[in-house]
A and B are shown apart, each in its own frame.
Chain A
């Protein structure tokens, strides 16, 4: 079982890998998008610069983006693990990773305005738990930057102004509106997580969970899969482009998921993720070496 110092160091290594790299599926999507842009256009130049930045970040072990984001940890573990012990290791790892400049000090106490300096504070880092049948530990980190969090939003349907009723067509209209409103401010091209239903809190949680899916993953629900594909095509005709300066690439992916709602509510929650989607997973199976994957 992974514990104590060894666990902390393994988490620090996962944070380093997460912060200093971009998952392969996202890199491939950026590379393909660069090929689709008009030759020598600003959009193509920008997308190629992003790839160069990713290469350099990996080579130098430096954060891909200076906004190393809110740290969202998703833990899945067997019953042999203690949640308190894992949380303590996560907190220690976050402090160490900040010390080593893999993370920017990003936790500001809202009343005093003081930055804690080590990424810890009330409510952060955020950790979600799931107990698994089998033994072992799996921790996924998602780093979500503030610029794209600011353009994330939530709609309560029906929305008369948008002509959005309580159905998937209504959801489509919300997403078109949200991505248009975001323009380049969320660091387009974005990856759009859509949470349909839930309450105000679980709607957003559902939307953020979609960002953990690989870009080539399609919803198992055929209606949602069709909505994801349609929105991907439609959003890219908005021509907002990389950084909102025009071009054929406005989004790199659209992923939708659901949470049951109470009859009175129908929320559509949109988690806009910047192109710099940073996620990484640590896996510790009994009797095996610790492994990492994006």
Chain B
């Protein structure tokens, strides 16, 4: 297990390879569909400082508020591919060093990872309670009223948040590799008609 402390340096990120298991500690920001749209069409002023050398987490958490303090109850990753249209631009503009999500992303993001020094981390989909336990505190929340709880940008401090590198800065993507291998197998099965 490799420990990664945020904010991350470009050098530390470029050292990572597909398959590396990483424990992330520091401040990360949740962002999904509405937030990605917002970050693309604004200067994201309230959050840009946190995003520089920081990490975006594709997640819409279940939260609870007790005595005015927010707490993460369940917080696994959401499907990343929906943000493919935005992510490369956001990596370039905000200097993001890592994206956490599930299911992987496409060619545009992979190219941006290589060019700007960013990696895609695979978190286990549905690992909501285990991952929420890694969230030590909610630092701030933006756009809560406007976007609603799942879509708001939650700034949280995490400790030893477990992920695996799915796409690295060297142009490798585990998802592309699995996709093409399983496509070959699918074609074999389609060539074999009824038993």
Contact = CB atoms under 8 A, between A and B. Distances in A.
B178 A64 contact: no
Contacts of A62: 62, 73-74, 128-129, 132
Interface in B106-129: 122, 124-129
Given A105-B148, A246-B174, A180 B182 contact: yes
Interface in B129-153: 129-130, 132-133, 147-151
Contacts of B54: none
A104 B103 CA distance: 21
Given A185-B79, A234-B189, A63 B128 contact: yes
What is the interface of chain A mostly: helix, strand, loop, or mixed?
A: loop
Nearest to A173: B190
Given A237-B185, A245-B178, A50 B193 contact: no
A57 B128 contact: yes
B63 interface: yes
A240 to B, nearest CB: 5
B175 A183 contact: yes
Given A46-B124, A240-B182, A244-B175, A68 B62 contact: yes
A177 B182 CA distance: 10
Nearest to B72: A66
Contacts of B79: 147, 150, 185
Contacts of A50: 124, 126-127
Interface in B71-112: 73-76, 78-79, 81, 102-104
Interface string A216-234: 0000000000000010001
Given A183-B175, A184-B125, A276-B126, A239 B181 contact: yes
Contact of A53 (B19, B128, B150, B183): B128
B24 interface: no
Interface residues of B, number: 51
Nearest to A57: B129
A63 B73 contact: yes
Contacts of A237: 185, 189
Contact of A104 (B81, B150, B186): B150
A153 interface: no
Contact of A180 (B19, B128, B177, B183): B183
A286 interface: no
A66 B60 contact: yes
Given A66-B75, A115-B149, A150-B79, A274 B126 contact: yes
Interface residues of A, number: 57
Contacts of A169: 193-194
Given A115-B150, A237-B185, A176 B178 contact: no
Given A147-B78, A185-B103, A243 B149 contact: no
A187 B125 contact: yes
B158 to A, nearest CB: 15
Nearest to B64: A101
A106 interface: yes
Interface in A245-267: 245-246
A176 B129 contact: no
A84 interface: no
A53 B185 contact: no
A78 interface: no
A291 interface: no
Interface string B157-195: 000001010100000001101110111011001100111
Interface of A: 42, 46, 49-50, 52-53, 56-57, 60, 62-68, 101, 103-106, 108, 113-115, 117, 146-147, 150, 162-163, 168-169, 172-173, 176-177, 180, 183-185, 187, 230, 234, 237-246, 274-276
Give the 9 A-B residue pairs with the shortest CB-CB distance, closest first: A115-B148, A187-B125, A185-B103, A66-B74, A63-B74, A65-B126, A180-B186, A238-B182, A101-B64
22 contacts: A49-B127, A50-B124, A50-B126, A50-B127, A53-B124, A62-B129, A65-B128, A66-B59, A66-B74, A66-B75, A67-B60, A105-B148, A105-B149, A115-B151, A169-B194, A183-B178, A184-B103, A184-B175, A185-B102, A239-B185, A245-B175, A246-B178
